[in-house]
Amino acid sequence: MSEIRSRIQELLAPIDSEMLEMNAILQAQLEDDSPAVRDMTSHVGRFSGKQLRAALVLLVAEATGRKSHEHVKVAAIVEMIHLATLVHDDVLDGAEVRRRVACVNERWDNQIAILLGDYLYSRAFGLSTTLASRLTSQLLAKTTSRLCSGEIEQSTQRYDFELTQERYEFICAAKTASLYGAACELGARVSDQAASGSFPEDDELALSMACFGEELGLAFQIIDDCLDLVGDTEVVGKSVGTDVEDGKVTLPVLHVYRSASEETRDHIRDIYTKPGIEKRAVRLRESVDLTPGLEYAKERAEELVDRAMARLDVLEDTAARRTLKSIGDFVLGRNW
């Protein structure tokens, strides 16, 4: 087992049994009468990675003292939606490897990957209708539409070197941080009380946990963008370099571009756009000093994690809160 995997297992030890239960629910949802579908869902079952979003549902529930008998199911639903988005995202990125396993678009093709993503997504929502309240369905419907709109925005901003940091973060918040925020909000909001039509907007603790998740998720995406630029597929476990290949101008590049000479700017644009260049990210990092951009992005991620951690101060000192704190360090230090 890799060092990082055992670190995650150690981190999530306080919710070991709930994670096992969550995975049993997830596995049951991947079952289908069709052998073809079963073959594919068992393939994506091998994508099971850090399962951070599911863990956040359970840890926030525990740390806020609001744990209910439905949280495990909610965690499985969040993880299934995440899986569906990954399968679709790999089509958009033309990625080949995810969590050291061939992407669905690579193992089969794009058509299958779109259909399988839809399948996982619909199973997740089907499961959410079995919960006592509509809260989870409502919040996750809102979250997935925000997530899709973030991806759409990102597609329209490709090759835009004038993108502001604010706009970049807006997109990252929508496409990635939104699901982290929703996971944490659900951890704090789902309760054993019977279904009530709507949920209170002024639940300060739930709103604060949603902000905690969003900040953590934004930091996660910023670090992910650094890894896509300079990481190694072997270490990261998924295709890297796809951002430059697809024209996505991420924070480290934006920072370097902002303060570069006209000549360097031309060079960066050429690497992104000139036909026939192979391994564009490698060419970029070999010909331009990206260090200041990577350092800047890391500092921004640290700032966001600090802000997220401060939100935990209102919670009692429990094992779950300590784990949430360690997840912050993990997000900053991860290399896969």
The residues of the shown chain that bind ligand FPP, judged by CB under 6 A, are 84-86, 88-89, 92-93, 117, 121, 144, 147-148, 151, 175-176, 224, 228
Judged by beta carbon, residue 229 or residue 305, the one nearer ligand FPP is 229
Q: What is the dihedral angle through the alpha carbons of 316, 317, 318, 323, rounded to the nearest 10 degrees?
A: 120
The least CB distance from residue 95 to Mg ion, in Å, is 6
Asked if residue 93 binds Mg ion (CB under 5 A), the reply is: yes
Binding segment (CB under 5 A) for Mg ion, from list 81-89, 104-112, 245-253, 262-270: 81-89
Smallest distance, ligand FPP to C-beta of residue 39, A:
20
Q: What minimum distance in Å lies between the beta carbon of 271 and Mg ion?
A: 20
Exposure string of 264-278, with b = 16+ CB inside 10 Å and e = fewer, is: eeebbeebbeeeeee
Q: Judged by CB under 5 A, which stretch of 49-57, 71-79, 88-96, 287-295 contacts Mg ion?
A: 88-96
CA distances 291 to 162, 168, 209, 230, 262, Å, are 20, 19, 33, 10, 19
Nearer to ligand FPP, 29 or 85 (CB): 85
- Smallest separation, CB 57 to ligand FPP (Å): 18
| Touching Mg ion, residues 160-219 (CB under 5 A) | none
State which residue, 124 or 135, has the beta carbon closest to ligand FPP.
124
Q: 71: buried, middle or exposed (CB in 10 Å: 19+, 13-18, 0-12)?
A: buried
| Residue 243 interacting with Mg ion (CB under 5 A) | no
Question: Of 89 and 215, which has the nearer Cβ to Mg ion?
Answer: 89
Q: Which does 213 bind (CB under 5 to 8 A by kind): Mg ion, ligand FPP, none?
A: none
Cβ(114)–Cβ(88) under 8 Å? Answer: yes
Helices (H), 12-109: 16-29, 35-45, 52-63, 71-93, 104-107
Nearer to ligand FPP, 63 or 301 (CB): 301
Contact 56, 184 (CB under 8 A): yes
**Burial of 35: CB neighbours in 10 Å, binned 0-12, 13-18, 19+:** exposed
Residue ranges in contact with Mg ion by CB under 5 A: 89, 93
